[in-house]
Structure 1
């Protein structure tokens, strides 16, 4: 069968079962990879079209008034599908609607073989940035003239299908063979498509070239270049002149080049710090172009001295920006070659050996796992890094991936036939050969606290997004235990007889099984799992029973409770300690059993894997002992988080050092030659004192510099603060939320939506979202809310930019790193000043420790933290010279309180209006 009929429908809603109806049909026929026929019509649904659908598609009630009903066109449509594949971008949606409409008029459902282009694209183009039709059209260079109209969408889907069929014709036999074994679990009927290609390949010679085939698995052959010493002849001053002069390489290579004085000044300060072996704190305000400012001296210095330099970022988003945009630009700006590589933790890299083993295990192949395996099979033919972050895995696919990451391999074995194909080892070799290693704060801190065994040696480092270093260091010096991970580890080991890891080990070594009391293992495992479940349920209830003033709601909606030995309810706390002791007892017995097994094994891989499982169980024992059975000498803070509306064992246990400054000084700043710490937000009232103290930087080897923004904030921004909002009293936020929502809708009328609203509390965000939903007439604005609307932060941001009249509500991660330039964002609302709640576990412990040595916890900790967070939020509005907008701050403390000036004097000088809400609305209208 080589006839493919592509269909796309526009409907009044998403659910056929809820009486939603078809309003437009677009059909395109593909034969011999050519579009041969088309059909399109409006359909009268017999019901009103919702405003949201009209806004999305442009189809109105007037457009469909004289259109045929579905029954008028049903025979024409079904005739087109005879002896054909039915193809759609999300088959369950389109086929579901078609069959519901056919059933409603008493006609037979369509039973064609189907191809779902969403599923097929996920498999064949696994590195696509997203799988919506518009995103794929951009990614694959397909013209998409009229999105959300049926015929246009059908045409794009047809052209996508042709590209997908072509991609199948490039796959090697081994990959297709594995895909065919997964086909029966997938939605699409792919058997003919794959088996036809396999028949063609069966008689062709294999040309390995770029592709390696090892033990039935095909993957890309990645070569590692050696490091070469390069000579740099010019002085640093001459080098910068060649870049920044009027006819320099910057002007030649950037279309809209604007000279940024601050950028060159920052570059010079960094180079000077490198030469004088000093550390530096550099605050580079928005618009400085700090990435280029630190890359130029870093590249020059690394190549000049032939010594690698590490660049560490907090977010993967900034890593991608550096690798995809800034580094290619730098390569055009400088006249000497250099090597840059990205190095992440082991858990980010796939183990081809583990994956090859899992491919033969089809017992647990549910849909998500089958799709994940299929995506990885094609991705392995393309990836140079083996970094799983290149893929958008389905949710359950992430759990499967844990089993096949390099982290699950144990210690490397150079004698293994798979060793030379290890992506993680190649990443390490690439890092050894690089001039610049880009990494993240998490791996930097892991390396720092483990005697520098993960990153190749380095003397100099750039820490971007440096305001996150203290928090990351605390997390990595601390510990975290949770029910899901502990149970997952036990389930992965498995009981004898269930087909999981231990069962397979013993099956492959029958002589060992005879010596082991297998019933004892199964009993021990069951008891450990039961005790663990009971333990976490007891903790969950213990936290729920605590008085309200001792708990705090985190910004993602979890209840947090700090615990201290000697201050808990003795009777109940002793029960929890006894339970922890029993779990440790069972875990030790399990370790003993695995140790006996390990000693009897002869296969190196099996021994390594067994040791890895032992190490994981031992880490659980160490964590439980630290949290519940050891005296706390007040050097760390311990707390519990629970999902209030989650499962009764949804519990997370944490421990972090109260002070990380001394640790950072001893492990990092004292042993490194020069560390440059930069961010847009390091100062409070133009002083670096706070961040310097928190990070443990001594003044004798420290340079500080503040680089002002090139933007004209006086002309681009107005700050407005209402003087008539209700006071927020503890436990009574309803009036304040009402006033906030009324103001959001009033401002939205003036700005046409295009608003980002930043909350400090997820609870307040949620209440505001539902109140806005209620208050909005006819869904005039598209309302997008973090934690309520589905999708990642990046996805929510893109949805916000897609619709003209949209309002985005965010908390936590939306305060920073979200770039929405130009007209997409005209108004930023800050609902409350971003103070942490005084009973937040980490803040509470730190403030007690500070009070004990006579420091002021509010002015020395809480206020600086809030100011830095506020500056991050403020920075969301103006991202270019052309941006213009309003920052509306609902919290009058910024004007009324004695500490308000710390906020206003920490941002660029801008006009601030403090007036009634009604007056501010007039000012906003005039401003726009």
Structure 2
């Protein structure tokens, strides 16, 4: 591998040479014999002004490049550096595209060197990295960098990254290298020579890697058994807590800036009391309480002293990671006894080695993401101890492939199979069985609950963190979802006789008798009819919603139209046509299952010792049957206790249709299936009470008051000093058809506050439509060279990506809808102002709300005070909680909706959040006060 590598990084006036963007700086670093041997850097005059945002990003101004040479003056010097070398860049298509564009303009031949893309190589060789931008990788791999976004600095960082990547490549096992060689043609980097050389050197090496389990040509990391034994705890619970929390205790010794929080100990004692008295508990722990540690300590004490498993369930994987990576190592230092802790997720999270090995052996697809995904998984297998997909960052379509090779895609478990002992899921289950503390998520907890507790190991006591999500998660798991893409994907995975999918491959490999049983012509005929029927049905549903939306239209936070349907209220003639189409489709599906059943019998007869094709056939039959069951539940069976609705993407494809159903009331199911069967369940969150009452949470979850403990743990933060809550009294009233005026006022307030707080604003909307209108108005009126404007659903990227972008830029404004109201932590000076545009009431015609509301009205109850208002208050508390995340945070909460002060129910909002100074005044007066306060 002692090749010559020339690493290049460019700064440019924009992102596209096709748009006449030009290079303004070149940084080049040369590597020979695995050492950096040369550096070259120059400004280039683009003969056009440099945009302000590029100057902000790079620090390069027009003055810097005024006297610099033009590209064609330097073209021959630059091309000479690349002779007989690999061309290396962090995102090769960008840098090579610009270089070749400039070379062509200057009359020089294009560079045709072999290339190495360090983004791609990092994805393959460090699949567990937190991100693949140059700065993220530099932080992850401890590469120091002083001036990001300058060409030579970035080229040096890329060069150091390349050396680390090549070193890692040399350490890969022979088997992994061999598989990567088979995949390399589908990658952007020219890896053949490097991989081939490495394969040869390993082929003649007698050293075998003792850390790897080599099975069927795959290298898998050996995982040593953890021997941690639970030890009996002799001290009383009070003494146990004294030794941790009190002055001179282990918490003070382990934490450099420890501040005792009385609420933390109070919460630990409440959890312990509930466990020992056999009661359930609702505990609201406000921000800053340290609730995770507070409930973990009694959970571990309970498991150790009573020899009983305690389950901890979270809503987000982020909290699971925090528990395992931060809290548990800390507790190991705080207590003087050993305990076992394990994490168990759903089967779809864990890689099936058997499935993956089969997919590796298939013909290589032309799909780049699929090739990259396989390469990443191969390297990950040499490192992972869990086989959990959450450890790695796959490309977006890689997750579709992962579902096909996850344990969820396996049809069953054969304990005698050699794969069984290597199964990541089975290992996770075994660890869960032995664990004192089992961490899981609400989704798996709910699935376990509704499957007669067959999935999780037996338990009597559990702690539900982020408990305000339990009702919603349980409802989803008791309900069902179905959409066009899922149905078509299910059929496409099976395939027709003439494509390259599962069925075609099976028929090529297996000799199937055509006289009776499975008939290819019959399969083709029914398969095509089913696919056409699916198209027709979903187009019909799309059209039906468009026609009906005038009567009942709701826009979801991602811009979909939602329509609730009820058998007795639908347009008789058209709904009759839809039901006929559903019935016809279920008949086609049953015919396909019948043919697959015949195929399975023939496979068993032909190959009685090899059941994998028969097992896969069974899986496909089950998948089709599941679709039949869901279609019948949605369209052909009536259920008074269920709400059913359709969502369509108004401007999407004409079959972009999503079907849902949920129970209107989950409380009885939770009461009977969960709380009555378990000894003690602790439910905790920062948002469970309304005006210091837990009645709403208690009723919605089905908790009986007889054996229930409630506790509210106040925040240690000083909201009186750290927060100003401001409400303008001169905004137009949005209820009287003045939405545009209200949006104008909102945008003016955003601009004024942004000037005062240097951006650093999170603006929370309840309506995606209002967010979109505000975004485009702000783009026209705000100084976009000064402020980075980021909007959910408009700016590309996931929620966490938008949050990272928000924190990366000094002066940014983030507009978000429902998913930004909680779970977004932006501590410190990154966030100084939180704006709540409207009180977060659900639209009255939101499908689930409408059904629940109608149910309450039928019972003669007040739907606003029993459902709408409590839900909005809980949501408001979650939004309010985004601002203050530490004792040193300061900021303004600006609520544009005057109902929080003027309406008779406004006090439900203001009296449910921590007490903070409230000012109501004109917008102008509030801005003056905000400026003075900051």
What is the TM-score normalised by the length of structure 2? Answer: 0.98
Q: What is residue 927 of structure 1 aligned with on the other side? A: 933
Moved more, 699-708 or 759-768: 759-768
Q: 1:493 to 1:206 in 2, by over 3 A?
A: farther
- Are 1:917 and 2:918 an aligned pair? no
Moved more, 594-603 or 486-495: 594-603
- Are 1:573 and 2:580 an aligned pair? no
Q: What is residue 886 of structure 1 aligned with on the other side? A: 892
Q: What is residue 163 of structure 2 aligned with on the other side? A: 162
- Are 1:765 and 2:785 an aligned pair? no
Q: What is residue 703 of structure 1 aligned with on the other side? A: 709
- Are 1:611 and 2:618 an aligned pair? yes
Moved more, 159-168 or 306-315: 306-315
Q: What is residue 672 of structure 1 aligned with on the other side? A: 678
Q: What is residue 71 of structure 2 aligned with on the other side? A: 70
Q: What is residue 102 of structure 2 aligned with on the other side? A: 101
Q: Match of 1:777, SS?
A: coil
Q: What is residue 757 of structure 2 aligned with on the other side? A: 751
- Are 1:661 and 2:659 an aligned pair? no
Q: Match of 2:46, SS?
A: coil
Quote the offset at 1:221 in angstroms.
1.6
Quote the offset at 1:364 in angstroms.
2.6
Q: Match of 1:218, SS?
A: strand
Quote the offset at 1:289 in angstroms.
0.4
1:3–1:29: 8 Å Cα contact kept in structure 2?
yes
Q: What is residue 392 of structure 1 aligned with on the other side? A: 393
Q: What is residue 629 of structure 1 aligned with on the other side? A: 636
The counterpart of 2:910, out of the listed 904, 907, 910, is 904
1:637-648 residue pairs with structure 2 within 5 A? 637-648=643-654
- Are 1:306 and 2:307 an aligned pair? yes
Q: Match of 2:568, SS?
A: coil
Q: Distance in 2 between matches of 1:555 and 1:758?
A: 11
The counterpart of 1:855, out of the listed 855, 861, 869, is 861
Quote the offset at 1:717 in angstroms.
0.3
1:230–1:303: 8 Å Cα contact kept in structure 2?
yes
1:742-821 residue pairs with structure 2 within 5 A? 742-821=748-827
Q: Match of 2:567, SS?
A: coil
2:228–2:338: 8 Å Cα contact kept in structure 1?
no
Quote the offset at 1:405 in angstroms.
0.7
Q: What is residue 118 of structure 1 aligned with on the other side? A: 119
1:446-595 residue pairs with structure 2 within 5 A? 446-513=447-514, 515=516, 516-595=518-597
1:512–1:597: 8 Å Cα contact kept in structure 2?
no
2:213–2:221: 8 Å Cα contact kept in structure 1?
yes
1:278–1:702: 8 Å Cα contact kept in structure 2?
yes
Q: What is residue 620 of structure 1 aligned with on the other side? A: 627
Q: Match of 1:131, SS?
A: coil
Q: What are the superposed Cα offsets for residues 490-529 of structure 1, whole Å, 9 maximum, x if unpaired?
A: 0111112323212233333313455321100011111111
Q: Distance in 2 between matches of 1:415 and 1:484?
A: 37
Q: 1:779 to 1:826 in 2, by over 3 A?
A: same
Q: What is residue 830 of structure 1 aligned with on the other side? A: 836
Figure out how many residues of one structure are paired with residues of the other and give that number.
927
Quote the offset at 1:308 in angstroms.
1.3
Q: What is residue 84 of structure 1 aligned with on the other side? A: 85
Q: Match of 1:6, SS?
A: strand
Quote the offset at 1:57 in angstroms.
1.0
Quote the offset at 1:363 in angstroms.
4.4
Q: Distance in 1 between matches of 2:717 and 2:10?
A: 47
Q: What is residue 726 of structure 1 aligned with on the other side? A: 732
1:227–1:433: 8 Å Cα contact kept in structure 2?
no
Q: Distance in 1 between matches of 2:783 and 2:704?
A: 58
Quote the offset at 1:730 in angstroms.
7.0
Quote the offset at 1:548 in angstroms.
2.6
1:227–1:434: 8 Å Cα contact kept in structure 2?
no
1:218-237 residue pairs with structure 2 within 5 A? 218-225=219-226, 228-237=229-238
1:721–1:913: 8 Å Cα contact kept in structure 2?
yes
- Are 1:153 and 2:154 an aligned pair? yes
1:225–1:433: 8 Å Cα contact kept in structure 2?
no
Q: Match of 1:100, SS?
A: helix
Moved more, 300-309 or 369-378: 300-309
Q: Match of 1:566, SS?
A: helix
Q: Match of 2:734, SS?
A: coil
Quote the offset at 1:222 in angstroms.
2.2
Q: 1:226 to 1:252 in 2, by over 3 A?
A: closer
Q: What is residue 182 of structure 2 aligned with on the other side? A: 181
Runs of 4+ residues deviating >4 angstroms: none
Q: What is residue 138 of structure 2 aligned with on the other side? A: 137
Quote the offset at 1:396 in angstroms.
1.6
2:230–2:337: 8 Å Cα contact kept in structure 1?
no
Q: What are the superposed Cα offsets for residues 293-325 of structure 1, whole Å, 9 maximum, x if unpaired?
A: 001101111111222111000111111111111
Moved more, 306-315 or 542-551: 542-551
- Are 1:689 and 2:689 an aligned pair? no
1:224–1:426: 8 Å Cα contact kept in structure 2?
no
Q: Distance in 2 between matches of 1:258 and 1:467?
A: 28
1:7–1:28: 8 Å Cα contact kept in structure 2?
yes
Moved more, 278-287 or 431-440: 431-440
Q: Match of 2:39, SS?
A: strand
Q: What is residue 367 of structure 1 aligned with on the other side? A: 368
Q: Which runs of 5+ in 2 are unaligned?
A: 605-609
Quote the offset at 1:47 in angstroms.
1.1
Q: Match of 1:601, SS?
A: helix
Quote the offset at 1:732 in angstroms.
5.1
Q: What is residue 607 of structure 2 aligned with on the other side? A: none
Q: Match of 2:735, SS?
A: coil
Quote the offset at 1:734 in angstroms.
1.5
Q: Distance in 1 between matches of 2:743 and 2:47?
A: 40
Q: Distance in 2 between matches of 1:514 and 1:306?
A: 62
Moved more, 85-94 or 512-521: 512-521
Q: Distance in 2 between matches of 1:730 and 1:587?
A: 51
Q: Distance in 1 between matches of 2:103 and 2:549?
A: 59
1:373-412 residue pairs with structure 2 within 5 A? 373-412=374-413
Q: 1:675 to 1:512 in 2, by over 3 A?
A: farther
Q: What are the superposed Cα offsets for residues 172-230 of structure 1, whole Å, 9 maximum, x if unpaired?
A: 11111111111111110011111111111011135242211111111112244367442
Moved more, 179-188 or 220-229: 220-229
Q: Match of 2:283, SS?
A: strand
Q: Match of 2:226, SS?
A: coil
Moved more, 71-80 or 818-827: 71-80
Q: Which runs of 5+ in 1 are unaligned?
A: none
Moved more, 224-233 or 201-210: 224-233
Q: Distance in 2 between matches of 1:364 and 1:731?
A: 55
2:549–2:563: 8 Å Cα contact kept in structure 1?
no
Q: Distance in 1 between matches of 2:435 and 2:167?
A: 37
Q: 1:205 to 1:709 in 2, by over 3 A?
A: same
Q: What is residue 883 of structure 2 aligned with on the other side? A: 877
Q: What is residue 865 of structure 1 aligned with on the other side? A: 871
Q: Match of 1:461, SS?
A: strand
Q: Distance in 2 between matches of 1:223 and 1:575?
A: 60
Q: Match of 1:779, SS?
A: coil
Quote the offset at 1:832 in angstroms.
0.7
1:877–1:885: 8 Å Cα contact kept in structure 2?
yes
RMSD: 1.2
Q: Distance in 2 between matches of 1:456 and 1:897?
A: 50
Q: Distance in 1 between matches of 2:413 and 2:209?
A: 26
